[in-house]
Amino acid sequence: MDSLIFTTLLLFLMPTIYSSIYSESKIMLTQRKIFTKVEPLTSYAVIFDAGSTGSRVHVFHFDQNLDLLHIGQDVEFYDKIKPGLSAYANDPKEAAESLIPLLEEAESVVPQDLQPNTPIRLGATAGLRLLDEDAAEKILQEVRELLKNRSTLNLQPDGVGILDGTQEGSYLWVAVNYLLGKLGYSFSKTVGVVDLGGGSIQMAYAVSRNTAKNAPKVSDGEDPYIKKLVLNGKNYDLYVHSYLRYGKEAFRAEVLKVTIGSTNPCILRGFEGTYTYGGVDYEASASPAGSNLKECREIVLKALNVNASCPYKNCTFNGIWSGGGGSGQKNLVGFADINKPNSIVNPVDYEIAAKQACNITLEDVKSIYPDIWESDRPYVCLDLVYQNALLIDGFGLDPLEEITVAKEIGYQDALVEGAWPLGSAIEAISSLPKFENLMYFI
């Protein structure tokens, strides 16, 4: 499989363990002019990202050519809170009200005279996808009522909902290629993306018209593999797939399910307790000998379901069609360490890092990996083994293939997070009459 852009917040260990493997990425960015004052034809968009671990708000500011403008010193306004909406499954009203501080901050950024024409959206991702459908809808309805009754921003009828995997993946692809100045060029000039989130993984890249035409058909109710977009006057066929339950937090639970009733060789020695995900507690106890890379990898591959039967010629894992690869998938960049916006690693580096992580105890973690949250410490071995297996066994990358890993993408004099909210903002703004000929989604 050719390379992709690998976007993730999970690749947090590598700079700490092997800082020498990193070098600066040589991404050539488009030359866009950034203005520092509000121009007559500017527009704003407010996007809420209701994720599995927390809620975030993004405010974007565009000029008449749909180029980003500054908001103060930055190219976007951003803030976040914890926990996420799914943590309020039994109190939908409290879930909605948890967003009020973020809403008030967003409204303070958008000029008052522009607020009635400023689209506001909330997209819920894996966290609410995993909730009972009725519980999730009650939360979303309370959010709709809150935004309609408390905000002067422009909420469309479909402005609040759960993003399906196709939407999330395509928005991410648009955001990254927009920031890199790739939109409007041939599909072979664009870059592919893989986003390893908390609850799911999204994969998206542009394919040829012939590949799109011959894409496998899916069953009713499933997301199609191909999504069509028109961006900067160019037609794109986008391969998109979302792997629900394979995100960082969700996959830990899948690994623990494999060893229910016994100790787990992926857990660091010294930890005995439970891991909670999606409101369910899973036994998470280390074996007396501590974590073991080889044994952990066997369990990870079983949970990854790499040997699942697949009726297609090109597959990833769990029986999923890979899209066939190709030139639209040839660049691999990701989002990780906040102190190193662009870095280069190989899949094998995660195995090297895992060898160290799987040979320490829980007591050692704080001194060796001081930036890791306490709740993540028992799983440092598991997380690194998973990343290595995902890249090599899941996506079929060569162990020595170069991957650019980053937290943000450089956009002139600023760094911007390459995440789905920017793609959603572009779609929302594109629906305004003055932008209708620039970009649209099918």
HEC-encoded secondary structure of the chain: CCCCEEEECCCCCHHHHCHHHCCCCCCCCCCCCCCCCCCCCCEEEEEEEECCCCEEEEEEEECCCCCECCECCECEEEEEECCCHHHHCCCHHHHHHCCHHHHHHHHHHCCHHHHHHCEEEEEECHHHHCCCHHHHHHHHHHHHHHHHHHCCCEEEEEEEEECCHHHHHHHHHHHHHHHCCCCCCCHHHCCCEEEECCCEEEEEEEECHHHHHCCCCCCCCCCCCEEEEEECCEEEEEEEEEEECCCHHHHHHHHHHHCCCCCECCCCECCEEEEEECCEEEEEEECCCCCCHHHHHHHHHHHHCCCCCCCCCCECCCCCECCCCCHHHCCCEECCCCCCCCEEECHHHHHHHHHHHCCCEHHHHHHHCCCCCHHHHHHHHHHHHHHHHHHHHHCCCCCCCCEEECCCEEECCEEECCCHHHHHHHHHHHCCHHHCCCEEEC
Q: What is the pLDDT of residue 420?
A: 93
Q: What is the pLDDT of residue 94?
A: 98
Number of Cβ atoms within 10 Å of the Cβ of 4: 25
The domain limits of the chain are: 5-26+245-405, 43-167+413-441
Q: What is the pLDDT of residue 5?
A: 41
Indicate the pLDDT class of residue 25, thresholds 50, 70 and 90.
Answer: very low
| Residue 172, pLDDT above cutoff 70 | yes
> Can you tell me the mean pLDDT for 98-108?
98
pLDDT in tens, 326-337: 555 555 544 443
Residue 323's nearest CA partner among 332, 314, 331 is: 314
- Known binding-site residues for ATP equal 198-202
Q: What is the pLDDT of residue 24?
A: 32
What percent of the chain has pLDDT above 70? 85
| Residue 212, pLDDT above cutoff 70 | yes
Which burial class, exposed, middle or buried, applies to 147 when counting CB atoms under 10 A from its CB (0-12, 13-18, 19+)? buried
Contact present, 184 and 290 (Cβ < 8 Å): no
Indicate the pLDDT class of residue 379, thresholds 50, 70 and 90.
Answer: very high
Tell me how far apart the alpha carbons of residues 396 and 392 are, in angstroms, rounded to a whole number: 5
Q: What is the pLDDT of residue 406?
A: 67
- Known binding-site residues equal 198-202
> Can you tell me the mean pLDDT for 413-437?
84
Tell me how far apart the alpha carbons of residues 256 and 56 are, in angstroms, rounded to a whole number: 29
* Pairing status of strand 5-8 against strand 193-196: parallel
pTM of the model: 0.82
Query: Hey, do 5-26+245-405 and 43-167+413-441 end up sharing a CATH topology, with the first three levels equal?
Result: yes
pLDDT in tens, 112-122: 999 999 999 99
Which single residue is written with the structure tokens 């894996």?
Answer: 126
Q: What is the pLDDT of residue 343?
A: 76
**Catalytic site positions:** 168
Tell me how far apart the alpha carbons of residues 386 and 382 are, in angstroms, rounded to a whole number: 6
Indicate the pLDDT class of residue 439, thresholds 50, 70 and 90.
Answer: low
Q: Please, what CATH class does the domain formed by 43-167+413-441 belong to? A: alpha beta
CATH superfamily of 5-26+245-405: Exopolyphosphatase. Domain 2 (3.30.420.150)
